[in-house]
Chains A and B, each alone.
Chain A
Amino acid sequence: MIRQIVLPGTFLAEAGSKKAGKGTFIENDAIYSARLGILEERGDYINVIPLSGAYEPSIGDTVIGIVEEAMRNAWLIDINAPYPALLGVEESPWKINYGETAKYLKAGEMVIAVIARIDEARNIELTMKSKPCRKIEDGFIIEIQPTKVPRVIGKNASMLSVIKKYTGCWIFVGQNGRIWLKCPDERLGLAIEAIRKIESEAHTVGLTQRIEKMLRDRNG
């Protein structure tokens, strides 16, 4: 079964009857969809949950970033967003002397960080002074479409629990679509397969049961 899919320009409702939520726009007293996504009615609001699209950073998001450059006083980090992100030395968990940033984080290395500030010019500032933040030293990283992240986590982390249960993997999901996995055995492949399946079927209903069934059948 599939929820209702709408396209850019699809008419959703008259502007008087509902409020225009995420992914919509108003034109001539009518609400239309701006994105290719799933129609969701939440109280008075009509939202369109996008099925694809770039990661849109929000303050407070926990992300997995790849260091692009170690500068004198900060690192330039790629967080899979249309805008560059900066991690200043004062926001890192280490005490760093000027110019010694590369000793702690080099280009190509990965970190878990939190988005602390986004200014009017959309420059992003990260911090590593929050709980889950750390440098990533081992494990496996995959990238999925950021719009599918909520589905991979599931309601109350239900989907993640199912994957962890049948693969024994430790999984950390970044809001920017990057996922860090640490698996004790070859079931890493199974975990990745499950995540990819969720990514491609995110718009369907009954997905958690289907994933659980697939993992159970393959676990024998």
Chain B
Amino acid sequence: MGELIKNGIRVDGRKPDELRRIKIEAGVLYRADGSCYLEWGGNKILAAVYGPREALPRHIQDPTKALVNARYNMASFSVQERKRPGPDRRSTEISKVTSEALEAVIFTELFPRTTIDINIEVLDAEAGTRCAGITAAAVALADAGIPMRDIPVACAAGKVDGVVVLDLTREEDQEGEADLPIAIAPRSEEILLLQMDGHLTYKEFEEAIELAIKGAKQVSKLQKEALMRKYKKVE
């Protein structure tokens, strides 16, 4: 075995099918209609939802449904080498695929001509930010009272030293052979986002998807617990 996996144990002590430590809290921002603070491994994400609200300028409105507008952004201090503020090609791409994944579960027909704005702010980045972002955004959407078919959840799998593993760290992402983030609607296991970086055989690909879905379902439990926890605390 190479450097990243030794005797079936990864660099951070995890087994191939183990998730990093995740903490989720719903309803953390006062002004936003819905919000979520999420920690996933070394990632720290803040998601805020505003809407549905009037879509302006007028010409972007869709008379049949709400627009879902997710904006993924990394804070300058979230990475080791200062990231220049503002959208870059990567953020634009992630924003787009995130919007599409979330739109698939939202009942957009209920609010024509409006927009649902989702802000995902990465405060600390450690691989898997797009999955953490979608997971946080989903909790924020539920917190905001946006009607949905299910609460979407995301998780990544990948290949490191020839082994298919769940939830890559920054090192594993940089040195590994493949990274496969997915987002699903956990009830039906319908895939809402599927991207891949690297090389996998067809068999490894299927293994990775299955592993990522399993991981996502575990995270889904944590999302639900976070939402329930907000309403369980009463003086």
Contacts and interface: CB of A to CB of B under 8 A. Distances in A.
Nearest to A147: B145
Contacts of B111: 54, 82
Max chain B C-beta neighbours (<10 A), residue from A9, A34, A201: A9
Interface in A136-170: 147
A5 B149 contact: no
B148 interface: yes
A70 B54 CA distance: 19
B151 A8 contact: yes
> For this complex, into which size category does the number of interface residues on chain A fall?
20 to 34
Interface stretch (A45-53, A95-103, A180-188): A45-53
B121 interface: no
Interface string B213-235: 00000000000100110011011
A147 B33 CA distance: 12
Contact of B149 (A23, A27, A82, A84): A27
Interface residues of B, number: 33
A7 B52 contact: no
A110 B27 CA distance: 30
A121 B111 CA distance: 10
A50 B54 contact: no
For the complex, would chain A's binding face be called helix, strand, loop or mixed by DSSP majority?
loop
Interface string B41-85: 000000000011110000000010000000000000000000000
B231 A34 contact: no
A36 interface: yes
B107 A36 contact: no
A122 interface: yes
A2 B234 contact: yes
A172 interface: no
A35 interface: yes
Given A9-B187, A53-B145, A54-B145, A83 B54 contact: yes
A203 interface: yes
B150 interface: yes
Interface in A1-17: 2, 5, 7-9
Contact of B231 (A5, A84, A121, A147): A5
B130 interface: no
A116 B107 CA distance: 26
Contacts of A203: 231
Contacts of B54: 82-84
B113 A34 contact: no
B231 A51 contact: yes
A205 to B, nearest CB: 10
A73 B187 CA distance: 52
Nearest to B50: A54
9 contacts: A23-B147, A25-B147, A37-B145, A51-B231, A54-B33, A82-B51, A82-B52, A82-B111, A83-B54
Task: Enumerate the 10 nearest inter-chain pairs by beta-carbon distance, A residue then B residue, closest first.
Answer: A53-B145, A9-B150, A52-B145, A8-B148, A34-B147, A82-B114, A82-B52, A36-B142, A82-B53, A50-B145
Interface of B: 33-34, 51-54, 63, 105, 107, 111-114, 142-151, 185-187, 224, 227-228, 231-232, 234-235
Given A36-B143, A201-B234, 19 more contacts: A5-B228, A9-B150, A9-B185, A9-B187, A32-B149, A34-B107, A34-B148, A34-B149, A36-B142, A50-B145, A52-B143, A53-B33, A53-B144, A54-B53, A54-B145, A83-B113, A84-B54, A122-B112, A201-B235
